[in-house]
């Protein structure tokens, strides 16, 4: 397999899963349960990403105060819960992370 | 009307900024790593320009370096990208109103980041006009940044320090927190989030991000089981 052919293969296998639902949108009617399932996609996937990115450090679960990612994520979670303000949540999360790195 | 579209496009770019910041070290690292693993400049740029999928690109470079068979690499790339099928399925109601030709670039530019930002807008401003412009703003900002960072990594990557241990990925974490929390409105939403968080940690060491995919699917199933609308469907005597 040549380099160019390999790239073409990667393009196809990356693009096809993204495109199939877009291609079918409006052409097929989803059953009610599937429509409801789609409501949970952002919550499920983004939470799973946040959970791994904040709790797994250097390839292992790190559940303590020395994990600055976890600390900042927890504080921003509380800010989001109380204020529901995007900019504030992100800013405070970043500041907490910077302070933790600097002080702890 | 044209001005509206452009201002919505810029809004999409602006809302994606924290996620762009988080992507910079990885774009640069990709460019530098690909070159040092012996990929040609052309192949490296072609991956960022035409494949445009961070995780897949890193996996491809790592596996190429360990001389894994090419069909195995392609299979791995496909599995990593199945998560994005969930994203595009979730966006189907918006896309169903669009012309077929525009769906191609929208699908090509679909990333975790753009999906997150677009979903958030849908949660806080349901039915807001200019969905496509907003999506394109976010997508073009992510894409331009990724291509530029790959090029920077390729050309001067060896001279600059590795930024991936600076912790800029914290920007992605807190931005995703800010995006998900407003979506947690009902008991089923919370159950879905808790399931995803716990399962993702339990299967973090599964290969090729299959742990992420599995936890997401399990969490969706939990949400669906507790979903108030699905529940009323099954028990019509409550109505």
Contact between A56 and A62 (Cβ < 8 Å): yes
Q: What is the mean pLDDT of each run of 10 residues along chain B (239 residues)?
A: 88 96 94 91 95 92 86 91 95 96 98 97 93 98 98 90 86 95 96 98 93 96 92 50
Interface A-B, measured as beta-carbon pairs within 8 A, has a size of 259
In a shared domain, residues B108 and B205: no
Q: State whether B53 and B159 are in the same domain.
A: yes
pLDDT by 10s per residue, chain A, length 104: 577 888 999 999 999 999 999 999 999 999 999 999 999 999 999 999 999 999 999 889 999 989 999 999 999 999 999 999 999 999 999 999 999 999 87
Looking at the structure of chain B, the number of domains it has is: 2
Residue in B with minimal Cα distance to A2: B70
How far is it, in rounded angstroms, from Cα A42 to Cα A33? 16
Q: Which residue of A has its CA nearest to B200?
A: A48
Of the three residues B183, B209, B224, the one that is the final residue of a domain is B183
B231 CA: distance to closest CA in chain A (Å):
10
Closest Cα in chain A, distance from residue B2 (Å): 25
Looking at the complex, does the CB of residue A1 fall below 8 Å from at least one CB of chain B?
yes
The whole domain housing B97 covers 2-183
Q: Which residue has the tokens 């992605």?
A: B172
Which of these three, B183, B199, B217, is where a domain ends?
B183
* Count of CB atoms situated within 10 Å of the CB of B16: 26
Q: Do A47 and B86 touch (CB under 8 A)?
A: no
Strands A56-57 and A60-61: antiparallel
For residue B57, give the chain A residue with the closest CA. Answer: A10
Contact A77 B201 (CB under 8 A): no
Which residue from A15, A30, A80 is facing B107, i.e. has the nearest CB?
A: A15
Residues shown for chain B: 239
Q: What is the pLDDT of residues B180-219, one digit of tens each?
A: 999 999 999 999 999 999 999 999 999 988 999 999 999 9
Token pair recorded at residue B40? 């040609």
> Are B171 and B230 contained in the same domain?
no
Q: What is the total residue count of chain A?
A: 104
End of a domain among B183, B205, B228?
A: B183
**Gap from B161 CA to chain A (nearest CA, Å):** 18
Give the model's pLDDT for residue B161.
83
Domain edges within chain A: 1-35, 40-104
Residues B172 and B191 in one domain: no
Q: Are residues B112 and B189 in the same domain?
A: no
Does one domain contain both B173 and B234? Answer: no
């Amino acid at each position: 397999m040549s380099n160019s052919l390999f790239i073409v293969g990667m393009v196809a296998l990356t693009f096809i899963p993204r495109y199939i639902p877009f291609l079918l949108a409006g052409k097929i009617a989803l059953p009610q349960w599937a429509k409801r399932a789609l409501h949970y996609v952002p919550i499920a996937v983004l939470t799973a990403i946040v959970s791994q990115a904040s709790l797994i450090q250097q390839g292992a679960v790190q559940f303590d105060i020395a994990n600055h990612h976890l600390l900042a994520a927890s504080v921003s979670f509380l800010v989001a819960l109380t204020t529901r303000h995007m900019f504030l949540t992100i800013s405070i999360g970043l500041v907490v992370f910077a302070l933790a790195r600097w002080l702890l | 009307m044209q001005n509206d579209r452009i201002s919505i496009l810029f809004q999409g770019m602006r809302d994606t900024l924290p996620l762009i910041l988080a992507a910079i070290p990885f774009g640069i690292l990709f460019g530098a790593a690909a070159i040092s693993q012996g990929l040609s400049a052309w192949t490296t740029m072609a991956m960022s320009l035409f494949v445009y999928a961070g995780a897949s690109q890193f996996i491809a470079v790592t596996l190429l370096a360990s001389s894994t068979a090419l069909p195995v690499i392609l299979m791995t790339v496909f599995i990593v990208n199945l998560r994005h099928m969930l994203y595009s399925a979730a966006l189907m109601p918006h896309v169903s109103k669009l012309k077929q030709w525009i769906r191609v670039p929208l699908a090509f530019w679909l990333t975790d980041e753009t999906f997150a930002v677009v979903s958030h807008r849908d949660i806080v401003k349901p039915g807001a006009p200019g969905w496509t412009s907003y999506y394109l703003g976010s997508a073009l900002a992510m894409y331009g940044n990724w291509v530029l960072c790959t090029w920077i990594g390729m050309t001067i990557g060896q001279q600059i320090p590795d930024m991936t241990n600076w912790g800029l990925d914290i920007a992605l974490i807190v931005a995703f927190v800010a995006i998900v929390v407003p979506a947690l409105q009902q008991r089923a939403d919370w159950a879905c989030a808790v399931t995803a968080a716990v399962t993702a940690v339990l299967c973090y060491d599964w290969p090729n991000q299959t742990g992420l995919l599995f936890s997401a699917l399990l969490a969706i199933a939990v949400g669906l089981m507790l979903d108030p609308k699905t529940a009323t469907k099954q028990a019509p005597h409550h109505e």
